[in-house]
Structure 1
Amino acid sequence: MKATYHKYILNFKRPSGTSRGVMTEKETWFIVLEQDGKKGIGECGILRGLSADDRLDYEEKLQWTCANIHLGKDTLWEALIEFPSIQFGVEMAFLSLESETPFLLFPSAFAQGEKSIEINGLIWMGEGAFMKQQIEEKLAQGFRCVKLKIGAIDFGRELELLQFIRQNFTPEQVEIRVDANGAFGLNEALDKLNKLSGFELHSIEQPIQKNNTDRMAELCKTPSFPIALDEELIGVFSFEEKKQLLQKIKPQYIILKPSFVGGFKGAQEWITLAEKYQIGWWITSALESNIGLNAIAQWTYTLQNPMPQGLGTGALYTNNFESPLQVSAGQLWYQKDKDWVFDFDQL
């Protein structure tokens, strides 16, 4: 077996804002395996400034991984415990190599184009008019669940945007999730949560920055509305550490990005614990290309979680790989009659 790694820069169609700043491009890496004339591909979806493995030795670790590919995916997964995005890339690459085609990783009714996955419509941060325009578009497109990035513009303006949705749609018609990306200060968070609670929101992701576990545990006890942990899970590697975190904070939900939490195996550990402690969960992508998004979507379908998932990011880039994935009326479909437009030489 031969393994190589390749860097690829994804360009956003328009600058995309979060509370951590505006992104115009996204770096990603691919691992390609070759054996007996077959090829497999896995995406290492690192997000600079956020991933636990945003380290100076990242490329060196990719090099090491390719040089030691003979160790197999299980041994490599353990050896790469501090490099969750590479763990995911390795898992995906082995599945891809072993599959009938490089992109059919989890055969199912979804991969056959017979069933879909309900997803949330993502509203990016920006000026109020831009956010309002996005909201109107998502609702017109038939999304039953929208997720608003908040925490970057004036909080009063964000409350007005939520008011706009609620004046026109009941909670039964449109579920609203908000994601603060840790933007709220420790002392203001409770007040802001109380103000947000008037809009009958489904949940808020990561209201305060990670590693403030005492304060986060207090916020999760308040009756305002449910809190979901997202960034809080990054860099929590061992099963025991995961268990301790959930026992201490007791969140209502956790959000799992395979690129951030050690791939399918790492995410499954979180799911096992969440279900043990009656904590809800859903899966989201982490701005991967369609190659990584496809793997996450196919795996997600096998979990049969009825909640809307966070998998609608395939259309963000000008130079994404053309795939059978398509969003229609708030559902992600795999169009079996549409081919991948991909050549390994593109990397």
Structure 2
Amino acid sequence: MMDSIRIDRFRIRPYDLPLRRDWRSARGGFQRRRGWLVCAETDGEIGFGDCAPIPAAGTEDPESAESALLNACACAPGRSAAEILEMLDHGYVETPAARCALECALLDLLSQAEGVPLRRLLAPDASDVVPVNGILGALATLTAADLQQAAEAGFRVVKLKVGVEEPASEIGRMLALAPFLPADMRLRLDANGAWGHDEACRILDQLAGLPIESLEEPLRIPDSSRLQALQERATFPLARDESLAGLSADVDLRGLGVRRIVIKPAVLGGLRTALDLSRRATAAGIEVVVTGVVESAAGLWPTAALAAATGSRLPHGLATADWLAADLGVPPRLNGADLSLADRPGSGFNPNPEPEPEPEPG
């Protein structure tokens, strides 16, 4: 089928979306989400992708992403989807966010042509709903009311950014909030590589007894042997996320030093690469969680399709749509702590109408 689909053109449209509140982490933050809506067109049909680079998470910088997208726009007309996918696999390794967006647009088209939802193109037994964790932002801004609101919404796992303040202050905040945690709620912590090894050891010891679901990227330098030592010390999974960027396809995943990996398709270069990594991790006994990069609905739909295709029933980090004050289209529907995915062919994304051009003066 991919050989029979000829691409008329790629088209890209820049966007600039405000957040409802600042996104903060140990690697910095942002107040707006900028990127490009990618459209692959053939015979009147359109497939969509989202290029939303975020270098702090392991992608290329925006300038490199835009250059890669423009190159694809110049090279695509008249080529088959199969030819373009091969081009992406060999020539776009250094620009994973652009490669992911272009691939998503092609796979959206292909799933439409096959008459199946994108998740079932990736895996015929993919589920219709994706469990998700709540995303509450930085621990420094968290209140007891935030925890109660998340519990009332149905979340049993909530994610917090740590490593933003001094460890003693953050441990104090968690201990102070612990009495307000609902009995069945657990905390998923993300340090974004904030700590040295000795510091991480002390923090793990101080977290003992708290309802921690997992801890992502505890070490500033993610050495596998030191991560393994930390994992043996912890009573919950440690996870690697941005340190997976550039991971060799033949690496032994059992040597990563952690019990879990966090998969971002925009960092890994697309849905196919991410799904392959997920399957290898599962075979190696490593847990898998899929997260996005606070992208638009155009990126959230295919990322949710990937999560459904992995078969992992852990809560995924995809409840990000509410962080955006504006979007390119309607995101997947959040029903309690589950995303409900569309049953129609394609990724599920439909764009908002493009704004009318301003009239010429005079």
TM-score (norm 2): 0.83
Q: Where do residues 1-347 of structure 1 align in structure 2 (5 Å cutoff)?
A: 1-54=8-61, 56-69=63-76, 70=79, 71-100=83-112, 104-106=117-119, 115-125=128-138, 127-128=140-141, 130-163=142-175, 166-169=178-181, 173-236=184-247, 238-240=248-250, 243-244=251-252, 246-323=253-330, 325-334=332-341, 340=350, 342-343=352-353
Structure 1 residues 288 and 324, CA, compared in 2 at 3 Å: closer, same or farther? closer
* Cα distance, 1:210 vs structure 2: 4.4
* Cα distance, 1:59 vs structure 2: 2.0
Moved more, 175-184 or 322-331: 322-331
Say whether the 8 Å CA contact 2:19–2:324 is kept in structure 1.
yes
Amino acid at match of 1:80: Y
Structure 1 residues 97 and 339, CA, compared in 2 at 3 Å: closer, same or farther? closer
Say whether the 8 Å CA contact 2:321–2:331 is kept in structure 1.
no
Amino acid at match of 1:234: A
Say whether the 8 Å CA contact 1:132–1:161 is kept in structure 2.
no
Say whether the 8 Å CA contact 1:206–1:228 is kept in structure 2.
yes
For structure 2, list consecutive stretches of 5 or more residues without a partner in the other structure. 1-7, 122-126, 358-362
Structure 1 residues 119 and 50, CA, compared in 2 at 3 Å: closer, same or farther? closer
Amino acid at match of 2:236: F
4+ long deviations beyond 6 Å: 335-339
Secondary structure (helix, strand or coil) at the match of 1:239 reads: coil
Q: Determine the C-alpha separation between the residues in 2 that align with 1:14 and 1:195.
A: 30
Q: CA RMSD in A?
A: 2.9
Amino acid at match of 2:309: T
* Cα distance, 1:81 vs structure 2: 1.7
Secondary structure (helix, strand or coil) at the match of 1:188 reads: helix
* Cα distance, 1:333 vs structure 2: 2.2
Aligned length: 336
Structure 1 residues 106 and 343, CA, compared in 2 at 3 Å: closer, same or farther? farther
Say whether the 8 Å CA contact 1:33–1:40 is kept in structure 2.
yes
* Cα distance, 1:335 vs structure 2: 6.8
- Give % identity: 25
Secondary structure (helix, strand or coil) at the match of 1:59 reads: helix
Q: Determine the C-alpha separation between the residues in 2 that align with 1:346 and 1:90.
A: 26
* Cα distance, 1:94 vs structure 2: 0.7
* Cα distance, 1:211 vs structure 2: 4.4
Q: Determine the C-alpha separation between the residues in 2 that align with 1:283 and 1:132.
A: 27
Q: Determine the C-alpha separation between the residues in 2 that align with 1:318 and 1:255.
A: 26
C-alpha deviations, 1:255-284, integer Å up to 9, x for none? 001111121122123223312321111111
Structure 1 residues 165 and 174, CA, compared in 2 at 3 Å: closer, same or farther? farther
* Cα distance, 1:325 vs structure 2: 1.9
Moved more, 298-307 or 9-18: 298-307
Say whether the 8 Å CA contact 1:19–1:181 is kept in structure 2.
yes
Moved more, 303-312 or 320-329: 320-329
Secondary structure (helix, strand or coil) at the match of 2:56 reads: coil
Secondary structure (helix, strand or coil) at the match of 1:124 reads: strand
For structure 1, list consecutive stretches of 5 or more residues without a partner in the other structure. 109-113
* Cα distance, 1:99 vs structure 2: 3.9
Moved more, 205-214 or 184-193: 205-214
Say whether the 8 Å CA contact 2:66–2:98 is kept in structure 1.
no
Secondary structure (helix, strand or coil) at the match of 1:134 reads: helix
Say whether the 8 Å CA contact 2:301–2:349 is kept in structure 1.
no
Say whether the 8 Å CA contact 1:103–1:295 is kept in structure 2.
no
* Cα distance, 1:56 vs structure 2: 4.6
* Cα distance, 1:104 vs structure 2: 4.8
C-alpha deviations, 1:60-115, integer Å up to 9, x for none? 2221122222232133223212221122112211122234399953359xxxxx94
* Cα distance, 1:313 vs structure 2: 0.3
